[in-house]
Amino acid sequence: MIRTRIFSSRKLFSSAAWQIRAALWGGAVLVGVVAILFAEMADGANHVFAAIVHHYPLAALVLSPLGLMAITWLTRHYFQGAEGSGIPQTLAALDPRTKGEIQNRILSVRVAVGKILMATLGLLSGASIGREGPTVHIGAAIMYSLGRWVKYPPHYLQRALILSGGAAGIAAAFNTPLAGVVFAIEEISRSFEENTSGVMLTGVIFAGMTALILAGNYTYFGSTDILFTYGTDWIAIPVCGVAGGLLGGLFSQILISGSRKLVPFYRAHPVWLAGLCGLAVAVIGLASGNLTYGTGYAEAQQIISEGQQIAPAYPFLKMLATIASYLSGIPGGIFAPSLAAGAGLGADLATLMPGISATAIIILGMAAYFTGVVQTPITAFVIVMEMTDNQEMLLPLMATAFIANGVSRLVCPTPIYRALATAFLEVTTPKVKKEAPLPVDFHPDLEEESGTEPEQRHTSRQD
């Protein structure tokens, strides 16, 4: 016991240990700075495109297809591996089969830079994408790359730094430190590991403090003052839970199934596929009155904080625009668009229950739909609670999220990020069990680098 304590104190005060800690803290601060810069770039791109289509609505029919085509070409030629949300790549990087060269490629600085630039261009083209998923990938890449440079111990590189970077990315992107920790445990890690928790919490704290200093103490959707009585108002919980779970699960299943079916066309004509998806984004945007472009942050904030009425078709059109944007293969996430679609769904449901606080139903609808999409109920109610600065809604949010999660799994049995990560692994780390199904996130360039042909690909199931 005494020898253990002496060893622990030596480890605590050793110069090598402090060098590692300093690098970890500095990396977390860097994640916070990059997240805020990315947020500013994304907001600027959103505003520029909104201003263009406000004066020239038909311009979207040119800007969106050409923009998505250009992004796809640039990504394939200069930023391979930056496609999609980024959370599946982060999950794949945690898999034991991705050690070495593949892990280095997934979490490279080049991919992180490409993620920022290409996602910003996507928003400048009107794509219905978010920056939060890419920020998770960027945070993980920064921390992992820093660990390689400082020569961290192997176990830090394998899990702790990746978890820390991903959690820090969520915390800084939404200004929701608790949600960053919960998301890392519930989705990225799927288990709470004592030997990585300290590193993860440190990353969240320093990244969150940096974002707080640079962007101020704000709540993502502002503060809400809701009166939710414990009586007849509770009928809204199962209604929102079932509706949000069904619609969110349907959204995820369409993304998974649609991506698989589009693989042959993506292999042959990736740029043209992006152009067709861009045209779909523009047509949907015109049909919605320019409401479905971009992250959806402004629309959700208007619905929640300002009580602004929105077209009943908005949540469905936003869902379609996000599907078209994601299937194009450009870098971009689904977090913010899902929250916006959920707010629209809640606004629709509020008209069916006039005796209950409309704002309360909107928040419940947002949590329910978000849960239905990502199937992480704890993250959903925590992130919505933090973003709206309303602790009084905690119990209704919890109940709604868990109902939505159960309903969503009936429609989409495999959580979307796990399905995408498994498909990504099937491409990058082939095994010899059985013939593989078509991957969801297929990247031809990664397959060519692995040196195997499609007919030689085998699956390795990840549960």
Tokens of 452: 């195997």
Query: Mean per-residue pLDDT for 351-377?
Result: 92
Q: Which range scores top for mean pLDDT: 28-42, 229-243, 365-379, 389-403?
A: 365-379
Name the least confident of 3-12, 30-39, 55-64, 424-433.
3-12
Q: pLDDT tens digits for 258-271?
A: 988 888 888 889 99
The pLDDT, as a whole number, for residue 23 is: 72
Q: pLDDT tens digits for 157-198?
A: 567 777 777 777 777 776 666 777 777 777 665 544 444 445
Contact, 81 vs 106, CB < 8 A? Answer: yes
Q: pLDDT tens digits for 371-424?
A: 999 998 888 888 888 777 777 788 888 889 999 999 999 999 999 988 988 877
Contact, 254 vs 381, CB < 8 A? Answer: no
Q: Is residue 339's pLDDT more than 90?
A: yes
The pLDDT, as a whole number, for residue 438 is: 37
Confidence of residue 433 (pLDDT cuts 50, 70, 90): very low
Q: pLDDT tens digits for 290-321?
A: 999 999 988 988 888 766 788 999 999 999 99
> What gap in Å lies between CA 195 and CA 409, rounded to an integer?
31
Q: What is the mean pLDDT of the chain?
A: 80
More confident residue, 456 or 36: 36
| High-pLDDT (> 70) share of the chain, % | 74
Tokens of 346: 């809640």
| High-pLDDT (> 90) share of the chain, % | 41
More confident residue, 210 or 27: 27
Tokens of 49: 């495109």
The pLDDT, as a whole number, for residue 370 is: 95
Name the least confident of 25-39, 209-223, 399-413.
209-223
Q: What's the sign of the alpha-carbon dihedral 212, 215, 217, 219?
A: negative
> What gap in Å lies between CA 151 and CA 325, rounded to an integer?
38
Which CA distances in Å does 141 have to 30, 136, 155, 279, 460? 11, 9, 16, 32, 24
> What gap in Å lies between CA 323 and CA 251, rounded to an integer?
8
The pLDDT, as a whole number, for residue 448 is: 40
Q: Is residue 365's pLDDT more than 70?
A: yes
The pLDDT, as a whole number, for residue 111 is: 93
The pLDDT, as a whole number, for residue 457 is: 38
Contact, 208 vs 36, CB < 8 A? Answer: no
The pLDDT, as a whole number, for residue 445 is: 42
More confident residue, 410 or 224: 410
